[in-house]
Amino acid sequence: MQYLLLIYHNEATTPDPDSPEMAAGRKAYADFTTEIRESAHFKGGNALLPSTHATSVRVRDGKTLLTDGPFAETAEQLAGYYLIEAANLDDAIAIGARIPGAKWGSIEVRPVRAMATLVA
Amino acid sequence: MGPELSQRIERIYTDERDRILATLIGLLRDFDLAEEAMQEAFAAALAQWGGSGIPENPRAWIVSAARHKALDRLRRDTAFRAKFPDLQRSIQEADAKESEGNPPVPETDDTIADDRLRLIFTCCHPALATEAQVALTLRTLCGLTTGEIARVFLVPPQTMAQRLVRVQRKITEAGIPYEVPPEASLPSRVDSVLVTIYLIFTAGYTASAGEFLLKTDLCTEAIRLGRLLASLVPQQSEPRALLALMLFHDSRRNARTDSEGDIVLLEDQDRALWNHAAIQEGVELLAGVLHDALRNGTAGSRYSIEAQIASIHATSATPQDTNWPRIAALYAELRELAPSPVVELNEAVAIAMAEGPEAGLERLAALERSGQLANYHLLPAAQARLLDQLERWPEAIDHYTRALALARNEPERRFLNARLDRARQLNSQSPSYSSNR
């Protein structure tokens, strides 16, 4: 089964880019990503630019409406993701718990809909 | 078929139903389907065993028959096939394994592969909301109907039916595995199961003081589940601690209410009506738990501390024999471990018993100021009791009135009303009454 691991954290608490915490965080992610890439689980993943750089798109009554920022104000914002292959939810959770961001933010573990079910 | 045979089949149903259902759920991956298939298999048994006799392994026969009923349905019913696309394959795989002499369900790790254990851990997976865990456990392990579970949660049956469908869907579609957790995660997973079992027990405890009656007694079911867990996971001592706690609480079931259905407080109960065999069992279980903790150098857990408190009450021959200072100390320990305003309330009551009403009132006043128990009737009720003891009638009346406003059911209201009336009466007779008029 495939799972999308969505990494959320409170951007207001992001450490200074030059700070030692930030450097430690970058290293933790680099190590984790190397490890997961080498395992059979990795299907994809990326860090995202901050939610201030997001644009929300809605089409209503034929009109395209754009808003600056993410679709909703939330306490924690989406920062990145990994797409993984795992035998079951417990395995996916175990991987999610190892993502560095799990320690200071939240990881949402969302099952990917199998393609067979999409094609009616 | 003679009455003796049908009695024996009924016996098999009662004894084996749980394990059969758990095995079928593992196989068919759908709770309703498993139940249907099991019912059909038992119907087949009733029809056939009269002629062929009861097979050597009735459980295996029923499981096998249920499997084939499900397979039959797959062949006949295209809509059914579409609903369960993987079913045919998993049944055939299981059939193939069985003909090779392997059991129908695979073993996982080095833990015992009792299907009921798998089922309990799956129903109580932490990825499911606690309420969903309770509802699913009641449905699959306790055999309550959807309507009965709806009454426990005070929701319409349709709502409960939808919740059950949703939680089963999450289990299948999110990939919650049907297995006993590996040894490393066992303690935290067991914890999840214990929370659910205790919630079921508490629901049963409140129900017995309230207005609705269930065919199935939830306290008895919770104790049965606790026993099952303790026997299937003997290396963990927490299940035994919870079982002891539930046995102590339940031992008082015949003394808690009088013939009118009114509440009888612990200190007023006829202790001869307590179930002393259950108390004895609890005492032995608890001794084992404490011995394990000592040997392993582990601290007391929430359930073992609560069980120790309950044990003191249960083994005191009279209310006067109760070791209140020890109870107060245990509540203090519990407060450190698992702080909660209710624990603090109980601690305050114990302190009042050990050191006098004023000491208790001081603690309760602090609790009231914190505002954490603003809607809990037992806080003003406890204050009222202590004010009663100090004969401070006007304040007692005030607090009983507040407690009444928060009471949750008829027996509680009747009890508080009686205390309120008594306080009013004593107030009007008191010397300070006329001087305050």
Separation between Cα atoms, residue B288 and residue B269, nearest integer Å: 28
* Mean pLDDT, rounded, for B198-204: 90
Region B373-388: mean pLDDT is 94
**Disruptive mutation site among B173, B183, B189, B192 for chain A (greatest number of A CBs within 10 Å):** B173
d(CA B115, CA B98): 16
Mean of the per-residue pLDDT values of chain B: 87
Among B31-45, B62-76, B275-289, top mean pLDDT goes to B275-289
Per-residue model confidence (pLDDT) at position A117: 53
Q: Does the CB of A88 have a partner CB in chain B at under 8 Å? A: yes
Rounded alpha-carbon distances, angstroms, from residue A71 to A9, A106, A108: 16, 18, 17
Closest CA to B124 of B249, B233, B14, B250: B233
Q: Which of A2, A4, A41, A90 to mutate to test the interface with B (most CBs of B within 10 A)?
A: A90
- Confidence (pLDDT) at B420: 95
Q: What is the SS3 string spanning B95-158?
A: HHHHHCCCCCCCCCCCCCCCHHHHHHHHHCCCCCCHHHHHHHHHHHCCCCCHHHHHHHHCCCHH
From chain B, pick out residues whose CB is under 8 angstroms from the CB of A1.
175
Closest CB from B85, B177, B185 relative to A88: B177
* Partners of residue A87 in chain B, C-beta under 8 Å: 175, 177
> Is some CB atom of chain B closer than 8 A to the CB atom of A6?
no
pLDDT at A47 over 70: yes
Out of B173, B177, B181, name the one closest to residue A111 (CB): B173
* Whether B70 contacts B28, CB under 8 Å: yes
- Tell me which of B26-30, B134-138, B201-205, B376-380 is least confident: B26-30
Q: Are A32 and A99 in contact (CB under 8 A)?
A: yes
CB B220 within 8 A of CB B280: no
Q: Give the tens place of pLDDT for each residue, B319-329.
A: 999 999 999 99
Looking at CA atoms only, how far is residue B394 from chain A in angstroms? 49
Q: What is the pLDDT of residue B33?
A: 85
B→A contacts (Cβ < 8 Å), by residue, are 85, 125, 127, 173-177, 181, 185
Nearest CA in chain B to A120: B82
The model's pLDDT over B394-419, given as tens digits with 9 standing for 90+, comes to: 999 999 999 999 998 888 899 999 99
Please state which of the ranges B103-112, B325-334, B401-410 shows the lowest mean pLDDT.
B103-112
Residue B300 has pLDDT above 50, yes or no: yes
| pLDDT at residue B98 in the model | 62
Q: Residue A111: closest CA among chain B residues belongs to which residue?
A: B174
Do the Cβ atoms of B174 and A93 come within 8 Å? no
Name the burial class of residue A20, with classes exposed (0-12), middle (13-18) and buried (19+) by CB atoms within 10 angstroms of its CB. exposed
B229 C-beta neighbours (distance < 10 Å), count: 25
Which of the residue ranges A46-55, B26-35, B365-374 would you say has the lowest mean pLDDT? B26-35
Closest CA to B227 of B8, B18, B13: B18
Q: pLDDT: is B248 or B103 the higher one?
A: B248
Average of pLDDT values for B341-359? 96
**What was the pLDDT predicted at B111?**
35
The per-residue pLDDT for B215 is 56
Residue range B152-156: average pLDDT? 88
Answer whether B175 sits within 8 Å of A1, measured CB to CB. Answer: yes
B127 with A111: Cβ contact below 8 A: no
| pTM listed for this prediction | 0.82
How far does B342 lie from chain A, in Å, by closest CA? 30
Please compute the mean of the pLDDT values over residues B365-380 and round it to a whole number: 93
What local confidence, expressed as pLDDT, does residue B16 receive?
A: 83
Any idea what the Cα angle at residue B120 is, between residues B66 and B276, rounded to 5°?
A: 115
Check CB contact under 8 Å for A88 and B176: yes
Whether residue A119 lies within 8 A of chain B, CB to CB, comes out as no
User: Other CB atoms closer than 10 Å to residue B420's CB: what's the count?
Assistant: 19
* B174 contacts on A by Cβ (under 8 Å): 89, 111
**Which of B176, B189, B192 is most worth mutating to test chain A (most A CB atoms within 10 A of its CB)?**
B176
The answer to whether A5 contacts chain B (CB < 8 Å) is no
* pLDDT over 80 (residue B168): yes
pLDDT: which is higher, B328 or B60: B328
Contact A90 B181 (CB under 8 A): yes
User: Is some CB atom of chain B closer than 8 A to the CB atom of A50?
Assistant: no
A118 touches chain B (CB under 8 A): no
Residue in chain A lying closest to B189 (CA): A90
CA distance B19 to B141: 9
Instruction: Please state the rounded mean pLDDT for residues B205-217.
Output: 60
Which residues in A lie closer than 8 A to residue B185 (C-beta atoms)? 90
- Please report, rounded to a whole number, the percentage of residues in chain B having pLDDT higher than 70: 90
**Cβ of A93 under 8 Å from any chain B Cβ?**
yes
Nearest CA in chain A to B171: A89
- Given a cut of 70, whether residue B109 has pLDDT beyond it is no
Residue B110 has pLDDT above 70, yes or no: no
CB contact under 8 A, A93 and B175: no
Q: Do B127 and A1 touch (CB under 8 A)?
A: no
A99: three-class secondary structure by DSSP:
coil
CB contact under 8 A, A90 and B176: yes
Predicted local confidence at residue A12, as pLDDT? 93
- Chain B interface mutation, best of A88, A91, A107, A109, highest count of B Cβ atoms under 10 Å: A88
Task: Map tokens 């304040």 to a residue.
Answer: B395
* pLDDT of res. B260: 79
pLDDT, mean of residues A33-55: 94
**Residue with the larger pLDDT of the pair A66 and A71:** A66
Instruction: Identify the band that residue B431 occupies on the pLDDT scale cut at 50, 70 and 90.
Output: confident
Q: Give B172 to chain A, closest Cα distance, Å.
A: 10
Task: Give chain B's end-to-end CA distance (angstroms, integer).
Answer: 82
pLDDT for B323 equals 97
Write the single-letter amino acid at B48. Answer: Q
